[in-house]
Structure formats: C-alpha cells, structure tokens
Chains A and B, each alone.
Chain A
Amino acid sequence: MQRKLPLLTPENRAFWQGGADGQLLIHRCRACNRWFHPPAPVCPTCNSLDVGPESVSGRGTVVSFTINHQAWTPDLSEPYVIAIVELDEQPALRFLTNIVDSPVNEIAIGMRVSVTFLQCEDVWLPQFRKEAA
C-alpha cells in the first residue's frame, strides 16, 4: 500500500508542498507572533485572522518516538521510525513525522534532527534525519 496522502486544502497546502522549494512552512500569527500547528485560518492563541505560513529553520529535537516492527501491509519495510519532533522556533511546536537514514537503534529522545523531504506525488513529506555532529 502506498503512503496515505492528505487532500490539499488552502490551509495545509504550504505545509505539504513547501518541500518543493526545500522549505518547511509552518503557520504563524502576525498579531502575536506565535507559531501553531496544525495550520488553520485563525490563531488559536489570540484568534487573529492575520495568519499564514512562514519558513522555519527545519531544525529540531526528537521529543518521542517509536520503532514500528509490525508488518501491517506487505509493502512496508519495517522496522521504521515514527517520531514527534519539536521545532527550535518555539517550545511545544511539534508534529508527528519519521526519522530516516539512521539505524533504528540509534534513535533517542533528545536527538537533534533536521528536515528532509520525501516527495510522494504532489506532496513533500517533511521527515527528519540525525543532524551532523
């Protein structure tokens, strides 16, 4: 089974397609300057409508992870790593993703990572890899 991909909408398009230009785009409020995710047409902190996607550094920290060992469908190449990464831009600004290109037994909470994009059709999945020391 291929990856299950999102339907693109005015709110999520920047997040899923920013990778075409090598950018991780996260929504930010221009009134209170807070970043937020998932993207939405309004700021969840101050309810300002002056919000939109902005480029972030793409650097962050693994706050939790799991190594999936279960062969849910034959096309999967387990083990693979599902992780939650917190971005450097703001505490608790985070999303679920994959950690790629590292042996699974090297993944740890606190590990420094940077974004890399996997293109699937018209979506660029923001995944992360271990940051070079």
Chain B
Amino acid sequence: MSTIGAAITGIGQSEIARPSSRSAMQLTVDAALAAMGDAGLTAADIDGVACWPGDNDNGNPFSPVGPLALKSVLGIETSWYGGGYEAPGPLAAVIHAAMAVAAGICNHVLVFRTITESSARQTDRTASSLANKTQGRDSSYFWQWYTPFDVRSAVNIIATYAQSHFHKYGTTSEQLGWIPVTLRDHAARNPNAIYRKPMTIDDYLASRMISTPLRMLDCDVHCDASTAIIVSRADAARDLRNPPIRIEAMGSALSQPWSWDQISLTEMATADVGRMLWSRTDYKPTDVDTAQLYDGFSILTLMWLEGLGFCPRGAGGEFVAGGKRIALDGELPLNTNGGQLSGGRTHGLGYVHEACTQLWGRADGRQIRKQDVAVCSGGGGPLGGALLLVKE
C-alpha cells in the first residue's frame, strides 16, 4: 500500500487541434477550469500549481505557459508552485505535486502542460528543431555536443537508440510498426484524436524514412493543446466528486549521466525508473490494466514496455508484433487514446489524462474492460518518470 498520500481527483483537457485558433493561455485556462470543475473544486481550493517544463524560454511553443502566469490569470493563492525542465521528464510536474502534497505544503495542486508546436510550425518549419535551442553559439552543457554534428531533431538521436536495439536484439521495423498501427486503431475510436484514418503495417512500411530506422509514422504529431489534472492530499480527496485515483508509486530514478549520447542506448532511463517504481509497491506488472507509455517516437514506447517489466529486456519487438497484446482487448491495452503518435503530442500529461479517463470508465468507444490499475510513463533518453495509478 502506498505511503505517498496523494491522489488524482480531476482531469481536464482543451481542444486538441492542428493548429488551434485559441491562444496558449486560453487553451490552458480551458484545461484548468475543466479539471477543477471535474474535481468539484474552484480556484479558491487550489493551493499549488505545477508544470513541466514551464515557461523557461520566453514563451517557446514547447511550453508557452508556466505556473506563475496561470496562477496570476486564475487568481490562485499558492502555498507552493514550481516548474523547470531539469526534472525526471514530462511527468515530473505530477511527481512534484505529489511531493508537495506529501510534505504537507498543499491540499490540491493544479498540474498542467500546454504545448503550441502546431501553431509555431505554421510560420517556422524548424520551430521545434534542436538547432533553435539556443541563440548564437551553443553554451549549454549538453546540447553543444549534438547540434554541431547536424542533429537537427530529437529523432536523430532517438534513431541511434532504435538502431542499437535492432542490432542487439534483432528487433525489426516489421515489429516496431505495430505500435503506430495499433495506436491508430485506438485513435479511430477517439473523437479528439488528430489522425483517425485506419492504417496497415504496409502503410507504415511505405511511409517516408526520416532517420534510419525511424519513419514518419514513428514520430508523434504536433498539435496545440493543454492538459490539466488535480493532485490532492489523500484525506482531502475522499469527499470530492470522483473516486480518488491513488498515486500508488512513482519512478524518477536516473543512475546514468544526463546526456543523450552517454546513456544506455537500448534502455535509456526506463530501467532505472522501472526498478524504482516496482520497488515501492506490492503491485506487479501483471496487475496493470492499461499502460499509457511515452510515444514521442515509437521506439521509446517499446523501450518503456521493457524497462517497466511488461516484457523481458530485448523482447519488446516480439511483444508488440501483430498488435494483439497491446490492443484495447489485449492483455495490456496501450495508449488507448491513440497516444501522441495519432492522438496528438500533448507531451506527457495526456497519458495521465487518458489513464484516468479509462479508470473512471469514461472512455466510451475505446473503454477497456478492467479499470483499476494503470501505469503512465514520460520521456526518452535521460528524461524519464513513471506513475502507478490505482482507483480507490
């Protein structure tokens, strides 16, 4: 039984558009009000605001709205707030919120994540390129080691992980492709997904090569969206509108260097995170009813499946091949809203939103049968965090 003492009590999401005509702040407010309303709370009840990464780069479309701005706009009086990129990946804000609650600092933390990469790409095709990470000469401790060699996108580095996995374990494109193909089938049942037209493994194999062995359909789809969730203190969660979804365990470990070319090329941070997650609970991977695992690129999901112990190390290709195991009626329904690959790159918090949607039985045409336990993970390379969620 968890000792964290934190639970998710409400969720909300803006429209997911490509692009949206609504401003970044409007999308954020849409999501935040929806989440508070879902929990049965108002701004007066919220005493913490958390975001990953927050607005740390002058309104950059990767994260145009930070906790300070949202706190001000909604008139929230906080005991604590926080953001920042240097944390265990896209789920870090949930982990931080749980810490704030566990420390007794907050009762209800509004956690959110806004992204407007689709709008940004209307005017600048390279808006999310790594070459734009810094102005002028690159002075960052890490990025300077990749961009001089014409690494222009994260896909170039992630592709070296894929190549490594293919080489070490015999994983093939014919196996990997079942992740995007299956997730497209899930997206077809989700009215909010960006890409809903069914596709086959042949469509996948025919899609354009971006950076070997990764194709266009291995990459997630940019969108404009905001997602929010409420993390509440366990004893403050019980009287609210929804059955609390307990944060049973968290994985946030990194035992390797924080550098995309120094980390394990076939595990990344997933194994460190997985070991920590399962060491803090009596639940086992076989208890999990659905997995919402980071799919910024398909190969990352495959590595999360292994790192979190859903299949043996190196057996991810075999596990996903054919798509049956990861389908909505399979042994481990995966990214049931279509993930970021077809649903839209909500970047992290979308997985938590979908996990709660499933656990609360609100997933309509894509609802899974058993709905008690979910795992979410976020990140690739040295960024990695995971949550084990249990409905009370």
Residues of A whose CB lies within 8 Å of any CB of B are: 1, 3-9, 12, 37-38, 44, 63-70, 72-73, 76, 80, 82-84, 94-98, 109, 120, 123, 125, 127
A5-B148, A63-B164 known; 5 new pairs, CB 8 Å cut-off, are: A38-B259, A66-B160, A68-B150, A69-B210, A95-B145
* A125 proximity list for chain B (CB < 8 A): 148-149
Contact B212 A98 (CB under 8 A): no
Q: Any chain A CB within 8 A of the CB of B312? A: no
CB distance from B218 to the nearest CB of A (A): 12
Number of B residues near A (Cβ < 8 Å) is 42
Within 8 Å by CB of B152, from A73, A83, A94, A98, lies A73
* B161 proximity list for chain A (CB < 8 A): 64
In the assembled complex, the Cα of A70 lies from the Cα of B209 at a distance in Å of 8
Most buried by A among B137, B142, B155: B137
* B142 proximity list for chain A (CB < 8 A): 38
Contact A70 B144 (CB under 8 A): no
For A4, the closest partner residue in chain B by CB is B147
Within 8 Å by CB of A7, from B138, B155, B213, lies B138
* A67 proximity list for chain B (CB < 8 A): 211-212
Contact B126 A68 (CB under 8 A): no
In the assembled complex, the Cα of A83 lies from the Cα of B163 at a distance in Å of 10
Interface of A is mostly: strand
In the assembled complex, the Cα of A132 lies from the Cα of B144 at a distance in Å of 30
In the assembled complex, the Cα of A73 lies from the Cα of B149 at a distance in Å of 14
Known: A65-B163, A72-B152. A9 touches B211 (CB 8 A): no
Q: Mark B157-171, 1 if CB is under 8 A from A, else 0.
A: 101111110010000
Contact A96 B212 (CB under 8 A): no
CB distance from A126 to the nearest CB of B (A): 9
* B136 proximity list for chain A (CB < 8 A): 7
CB distance from B170 to the nearest CB of A (A): 13
Known: A6-B137, A7-B137, A7-B138. A70 touches B149 (CB 8 A): no
Most buried by A among B136, B145, B163: B163
Q: Mark B99-116, 1 if CB is under 8 A from A, else 0.
A: 000000000000000000
* A4 proximity list for chain B (CB < 8 A): 131, 138, 147-148
For B212, the closest partner residue in chain A by CB is A67
For B208, the closest partner residue in chain A by CB is A69
* B144 proximity list for chain A (CB < 8 A): 6-7, 12
Contact A44 B145 (CB under 8 A): no
In the assembled complex, the Cα of A13 lies from the Cα of B130 at a distance in Å of 22
Q: Any chain A CB within 8 A of the CB of B23? A: no
Q: Mark B287-298, 1 if CB is under 8 A from A, else 0.
A: 000000000000
